[in-house]
Structure 1
């Protein structure tokens, strides 16, 4: 059973302070007073999932019945997919040690069919539970993925792909992460070189220019193709986000 809280864009949520949703890491650049795994108005807080080793091991133990197809063409060279209609969810049907994924028009429909909601929005390349386990285990993926992306320059693109794959992602999820890093390098090289060793956030909580450029130039395609993100899965990460951008749920599989 999943306990859902869709992203709230209301002014009431905005009025309850400016604390961001996330889990600060050494590279975040923010304190726990500025960013934490709980945010929002008293009584209406959004509480992110704090994974335990046992939870991560359990999530990663299931086998997907019908794996996603590999992404053999760069999705950034195609028109951006349309976003899923509001209320759409990706849900898992657990059958012993295996499972199936399906996109549903609403949480209610998914639950009525015996599925467990695993993230908000349509299913995509990073929706498998194996990828969820990687997200759970690595709240700071910005630095390792960036280091993998830099391998494209020093060792070639295949080395970068292998580096991302070695983080534990399924092949399709590793592929969209690779295409994302390549597109960001093409579109955001100057601000990213200038901020190579900078904290992810400015002192006021805003993203640094490199990460903001990635968000603006590469984010929409990544989110549409990947399906799962930390924000629509309720996982706090080292990139701290405004509370109204986050959807939380309880992961029990």
Structure 2
């Protein structure tokens, strides 16, 4: 499920190394994914990775999005993307999804060069599942499935590195955001934390703020007792906390989300079916990797919690819940 994949990148184990090496992780027995019954573990690589190169991240962060998708109701007003959180607002409607056998989300660029280019997110429909020859210098497939509120280059840069805008690891920053919300119940500050400190685009930050509240309200008991992310091989079933979160957020959430780790060719620490992964070549500069560093300095978190100092005093549920929600990221 895409929801679980995206959220899983948000809270991946606070005390573990988050920025993974580019080697195949052993998540289901000795495999990085869950093979179909009787199949062997497929090769790792060739469009499947567990982190993006820093040069690619710098390029992504330099791009300027011209058509950010918004969370909105059918009449264009405020909406609630997760009815289970109890907020009384109309349900959100997902972006328009074109019909066709294979739909992917692409970045369509204008201008020359690479660093700082403007782009729009557009859906690409094909009768052929092979998209390896689609990319060119002004059009690049960035993930399978239709575009959504978390499909931007900015959101991919966070997803693909595990490092928040604040400079903290994504898991530590997400737990700081969640802990602050549990303490003060200030939803606006939660959204600000995901937008400013984590670095997500505004609608993506709002979406994950709703997800945080809904999961905390509905899955506390399951997440208090969670163990490993997956059960033993060969089934490698997800634990009760992850299963609860997927159920609470629902399938409609995925359409609003857009980008998921599996659809972007990115693994995390939850084992998923091997067939769920789509190889994606994250080449946004036509085979080159120019330096796109900026002078923009990283800002510290707006939350009052120092993530590196509060870990031992945080209630177990906060760590457990945070771990699980991040595991389901992107």
Whether these two folds match at TM > 0.5 is yes
Q: Is the Cα–Cα contact under 8 Å of residues 126 and 226 in structure 1 kept in the other structure?
A: yes
Query: 1:34 is matched with which residue: 30, 35, 41?
Result: 30
Partners of 2:70 and 2:203 within 8 A in 1? yes
The CA deviation at 1:216 is 2.3
| 1:73 maps to which of 76, 79, 85 | 79
Counterparts of 1:202 and 1:147, CA distance in 2: 28
Deviates most, 117-126 or 68-77: 68-77
Deviation at 1:112, TM superposition (A): 8.4
Q: Which of 146, 154, 160 is the equivalent residue of 1:130?
A: 154
Closer, same or farther in 2 for the Cα pair 1:214/1:251, shift >3 Å?
Answer: same
Structure that is richer in helix per residue: 1
Residues 79 and 148 of structure 1: CA distance in aligned 2, closer, same or farther (over 3 Å): same
Shift in Å at residue 103 of structure 1?
1.1
What is the Cα deviation at residue 44 of structure 1? Answer: 6.3
1:198-209 to structure 2, matched below 5 A, reads: 198-204=227-233, 205-209=236-240
Q: 1:46: Cα distance to partner?
A: 5.7
State how far apart, in whole Å, the 2-side matches of 1:173 and 1:237 are: 19
Q: How does 1:97-176 map to 2 (within 5 A)?
A: 97-106=117-126, 111=134, 115-138=139-162, 144-156=173-185, 157-165=187-195, 166-176=197-207
Matched with 2:214 is 183
Question: 2:41, 2:184 → 1: CA distance?
Answer: 51
Q: CA deviation at 1:107?
A: 7.8
Counterparts in 2 of 1:167 and 1:56: CA distance versus 1, 3 Å:
same
Other-structure match for 2:247: 216
**Aligned positions, number:** 228
Residue 15 of structure 1 corresponds to: none
In the TM superposition, what is the alpha-carbon distance from 1:90 to its structure 2 partner?
Answer: 0.8
SS of the equivalent of 2:59 reads: helix
Q: 3-state DSSP class of the match of 1:105?
A: strand
Where do residues 85-96 of structure 1 align in structure 2 (5 Å cutoff)? 86-96=101-111
Q: What is the TM-score with the length of structure 2 in the denominator?
A: 0.58
Gaps of 5+ in 2: 1-8, 19-24, 73-77, 84-90, 112-116, 164-168, 285-330
- Please identify the structure whose Cα radius of gyration is greater: 2
Query: Once superposed, what is the RMSD of the aligned Cα atoms?
Result: 3.6
Compared CA separation, residues 83 and 236, structure 1 to 2 (3 A): farther
Unaligned residue ranges in structure 1 (runs of 5+): 1-21
- CA shift, 1:200, in A, is 2.8
What's the offset of the Cα at 1:87?
Answer: 0.8
Structure 1 residue runs of 4 or more that deviate by more than 6 Å after TM superposition? 37-44, 107-110
Q: Helix, strand or coil for the counterpart of 2:134?
A: helix
TM-score after normalising by structure 1: 0.74
